[in-house]
Amino acid sequence: MFIIKNAWRNIMRSKGRSILIGIIVMMIAFSACIGLCIRQSAETSRTTALNNMNITAEISPDREKAMEKSGGSGNVDPGKMREAMAPQLSLEELEKYKSAEAVKDFYYTLSASLNASGNTKAYSTENSSNTNASGNQSADANTGNAEKSGRPGRMAEGDFTVTGYSSDTAMTDFTNGNYTIKDGKMFEQGKADKTAVISDELAAYNNVKVGDSITLCNPANTAEQFTLKISGIYHNENASSEAQGGGGRGMRVDPANRIFTSYQTLKEMTDASAKTSGENAVNGRLTGTYVVGDVTGYENFKNQVKDLGLSDQYTVTSSDIMSYERQAAPLENLASFAGYGLIVLLVLGAVVLVVMNIFSTRERKYEIGVMSAIGMKKHQLAMLFVTEILMITLIGSVIGGGIGAAVSVPVTNALLTTQTASGMGGRGGSFGIDMDRGPGQGPNNGGGDTNQTQNPSQNGSTGPSGQRITEVKSAVNLTVLIELLGISLLLAMASGMVSVITITRYDPIKILSERD
């Protein structure tokens, strides 16, 4: 108590010096608080978002390894690349890996590209020389696979994307509420009854209703036709935004031209096409989706499929996690910059405080000699000086930290806005430019402390949106306060050690004898 009282008395006696040191500490604490808040916001956002996600995983060929085997970057042999690319996994192979302990659910889809035929017209808002009066592509555009794509054996892109689902769980657009049945009913799962549901836009465009049929054909062989009976008509809540978000004809299918049916129906169509059209058959793309729950489950699944015999030609990926990483890139980059800035700030702050303590201790040399002469031990003197700097540091840290905590959210949001607008870590960075091209697209998640557009993902998980994080709502928590307290104590001890070392080297008799 004696040391504390004397330390406070010395602080009040040298107000100018104490205030100067306090201001420096306050500025350091303020800046440190902002940096810690930014880092904590990024960590909280990541933890909350990933914990709230129902993460799914997919198994696909590892393109990087395929490229390495085909000659590496800049020297890729197309022939070797095709050989190196592993073939698509069959349904039996995909089902093998659903036995992994991390898998909570498994479903699959089969997708194929088909053209309009007969009286059926593909929904289009464009005038194209490649379309005829019925809405179909011209005969020249549909004749022969090689003429369209320039690559034999490669399926030409059609007007429609037909997707066959293994179960209701696989129909994530409907379970998430993006799509809703407006008229009729859903097709029956597990049956090849050649029924399907179409969009209300496509139904109106063709003037068809529930119970009518639509006719589709193989884009590479127009003579091969398929008929599907309409069991239901659905409405897509995001049709307009999805149509504007993609490219024009040939780059993607208009969302109104998405047709949904059972896996068995589409599988029967592709099998029949393989027998009829050979190399120009309608090729179905099979995708297996494994629901693994959280990040830990995802990491466990990656290891477990290897134990189950998955070849290194394949890799496990998660569109949910990749989408979140794109979304959180500006905040993550800002947190990284804040971390580097925090290190520089602490080093410079410690140097400034150490230098000031050196001069302060030298100025109080005679005071040290007098206190030593009247019987105060050197360790008591050292404790007195350390207590003084500790008290000033704590007061300055409380004030600076309090101000920093009060303005951390608006300051973080302002920096985040600047970061996003500059394109750093966002889409501008992806395109190698400094302008922001607007929000991306993809699945979504309400990211805890972040503000973002809510839009259920198309893969069924409550994943993060392609909308980047542009705002945080809270930044200060107990972790930030503890870290700030630790930084304050570290600075106080670093600067206080200078006084301790200096005092232990002083000879009180010599100090007093040299006094004028």
Residue ranges covered by each domain of the chain: 2-9+22-52+326-513, 87-310
Structure confidence at residue 166 (pLDDT): 94
Tokens 């194209």 appear where?
128
Lowest model confidence (mean pLDDT) among 255-264, 268-277, 328-337, 339-348: 328-337
Structure confidence at residue 240 (pLDDT): 83
- Rounded mean pLDDT, 31-59: 84
* 77-118 confidence digits (pLDDT tens): 676 666 666 678 899 999 999 999 999 999 999 999 999 999
Beta strands (DSSP E) in 253-341 are 258-262, 285-293, 314-317
pLDDT-based confidence at residue 338 (cuts at 50, 70, 90): confident
Distances (CA, A) of 463 to 46, 320, 335, 447: 12, 5, 22, 9
Say what percent of the chain tops pLDDT 90.
30
Lowest model confidence (mean pLDDT) among 80-84, 279-283, 290-294: 80-84
pLDDT-based confidence at residue 320 (cuts at 50, 70, 90): confident
Kindly state the DSSP code that residue 134 receives in the 8-state scheme.
T
User: Over 50: is that where the pLDDT of 273 sits?
Assistant: yes
- Rounded mean pLDDT, 171-179: 89
Lowest model confidence (mean pLDDT) among 95-109, 271-285, 304-318, 352-366: 352-366
Distance CA 270, CA 284 (A): 6
Distance CA 40, CA 481 (A): 11
* 122-150 confidence digits (pLDDT tens): 998 665 444 433 444 433 433 333 333 33
Enumerate the β-bridge partners of residue 78.
none
Distances (CA, A) of 219 to 127, 142, 147, 164: 19, 6, 12, 18
Distance CA 305, CA 290 (A): 11
Structure confidence at residue 246 (pLDDT): 52
User: Over 90: is that where the pLDDT of 225 sits?
Assistant: yes
Asked if residues 276 and 224 have their Cβ atoms less than 8 Å apart, the reply is yes
Q: Are strands 195-199 and 221-236 parallel, antiparallel or unpaired?
A: parallel
Say what percent of the chain tops pLDDT 70.
75
Distance CA 120, CA 208 (A): 9
Is 76 exposed, middle or buried (CB count within 10 Å of its CB: 0-12, 13-18, 19+)? middle
- Rounded mean pLDDT, 424-445: 43
Tokens linked to 159: 């007007």
Euclidean distance between the first and the last CA atom of the chain, given in angstroms as a whole number: 34
Distance CA 189, CA 494 (A): 70
> H or E element: which one contains 399?
helix 378-421
> H or E element: which one contains 179?
strand 179-184
- Rounded mean pLDDT, 191-200: 95
Kindly state the DSSP code that residue 137 receives in the 8-state scheme.
B
User: Over 50: is that where the pLDDT of 509 sits?
Assistant: yes
Asked if residues 107 and 167 have their Cβ atoms less than 8 Å apart, the reply is yes
Looking at this protein, which amino acid is placed at residue 306?
Answer: K
Q: Are strands 160-165 and 258-262 parallel, antiparallel or unpaired?
A: parallel
Distance CA 338, CA 325 (A): 18
Distance CA 308, CA 300 (A): 12
Structure confidence at residue 152 (pLDDT): 36
Asked if residues 161 and 227 have their Cβ atoms less than 8 Å apart, the reply is no
Q: What is the mean pLDDT of the chain?
A: 78
Distances (CA, A) of 365 to 138, 263, 351, 376, 508: 97, 88, 21, 14, 9
Structure confidence at residue 215 (pLDDT): 95
- Rounded mean pLDDT, 403-414: 84
